[in-house]
Structure 1
């Protein structure tokens, strides 16, 4: 008999009647939170006491939906991760009112140190979101970790809770879409284009920049906010992208 791997987030020992909760699109809400949150709570395990140690950090996202973050090698959480890579991230709009009425996403898994040949591109993606990061990413003890997600919990607000979504629900398949990211620099020099897309994503117009393009959508950043414009259908080619952007301007 095959062994069942225990869940990394242990289910609550209670029967929850699904009809008692308010319906919401759990996967879409979770992906929205992942792509548009600037700050995450990072919980690691202290190797001596065993207690959780929590800190706040910026969060960035690779085109396939994998979250990653910076830490200095001398930081306590870096020491903790080296001893035990099991971590948890909580993403929420921390600066936008009552946190318990807004969506928040908990991710559990193992932190993996990025290897040397991955770091330059990851740094560029991180700086695109957080321009001031140039100051600390140039430090000699800079480390970048990605989270290999093993468990997911999304709370959409009061009576909106879902634990049945999986790590794969947060992922974007990048196959066949190699040319999309090359369009970022071209689109960013078109006056007002990034701002137009941010407005379509529900944000106010302003000084926006496109930071990432993948088959499911476009990530944008301003000095103080992030936005995600979702495509109605999968986009793999530059021609498909051009068609979507043209149709969105009508």
Structure 2
């Protein structure tokens, strides 16, 4: 008998994933490089938006921005660092995402600067834009024997919401 070690989400897994997203200030973004077809990884500043979906502020000059403009599919890796012990046992959350640039950021600028005050140096440069990273599915590795599949609803993200604050 071949049992799947990955479990469906329970309330504890949902809450842990939501806490990880709420605390997120950085993540690793994986995109499909249109020039080579190979995956490309970047560490980016990232935070949860008002609708529960991750937001990123990206430079249009970066490889990952050009890649997302060509193919909006990507992945995001969020990690909780415990500061000690083996990093391979720290909780981590992998999200399959679809990205879209936000044309009218509304109140996102102030929200962003509240979490990333050093971004004030570049946030108003013309090549920087906000991107909504809409979760399609997620995988939570919460430790040994604690792996879960999650849906966008499990994460508290509204896949159809508009992230612009009014």
Fold shared, TM-score > 0.5 on shorter chain: yes
Corresponding residue SS for 2:75 = strand
Give a deviation string over 1:39-64, Cα, whole Å, max 9, x none: 10000111021110001011111122
Distance 1:87 1:172, change over 3 A: closer
Question: Please, what TM-score do these two structures have when normalized by structure 2?
Answer: 0.85
- 2:123 maps to 1:137: yes
CA deviation string 1:136-182 (max 9, x = no partner): 1021111110111111111101211011x211111268xxxxxxx9x
Q: How far apart are residue 93 of structure 1 and its match?
A: 2.4
SS at match of 1:90: strand
Provide, for residues 67-125 of structure 1, a one-character-per-residue CA deviation record: whole Å limited to 9, x for no partner.
Answer: 10011111111110111000100000247333322211111121011012xx1411111
Give TM-score, length-normalised by structure 1: 0.57
Structure 1: unaligned runs, 5 residues or longer: 1-13, 174-180, 182-250
Q: Alignment partner for residue 109 of structure 2, among 123, 128, 142?
A: 123
The question of 1:93 aligning with 2:110 is answered no
| Inter-partner Cα distance in structure 1 for 2:33 and 2:117 | 31
Partner residue in 2 for 1:108: 96
CA distance, structure 1, for counterparts of residue 96 and residue 51 of structure 2: 17
Higher relative contact order (CA 8 A, sep 6+): 2
Work out the CA distance in 2 between the residues paired with 1:83 and 1:145: 14
SS in 1 for 2:80: coil
Q: Which has the larger radius of gyration?
A: 1
Q: 1:65 to 1:31 in 2, by over 3 A?
A: same
Structure 2 CA distance for partners of 1:52 and 1:15, relative to 1, 3 Å: same
**Alignment partner, residue 197 of structure 1:** none
Matched residue SS, 1:169 = helix
Higher helix share: 1
Report the number of matched residues. 155
Over the residues paired in the alignment, what is the CA RMSD in angstroms? 2.2
Q: Cα offset for 1:24?
A: 8.2
Does the CA-based 8 Å contact 1:24-1:156 persist in structure 2? no
- In the alignment, the residues of structure 2 paired with residue 57 and residue 66 of structure 1 have an alpha-carbon distance, to the nearest angstrom, of 15
Matched, 1:84 2:71: yes
Displacement of 1:15 in angstroms is: 2.5
How far apart, CA to CA, are the structure 1 residues paired with 2:17 and 2:117?
25
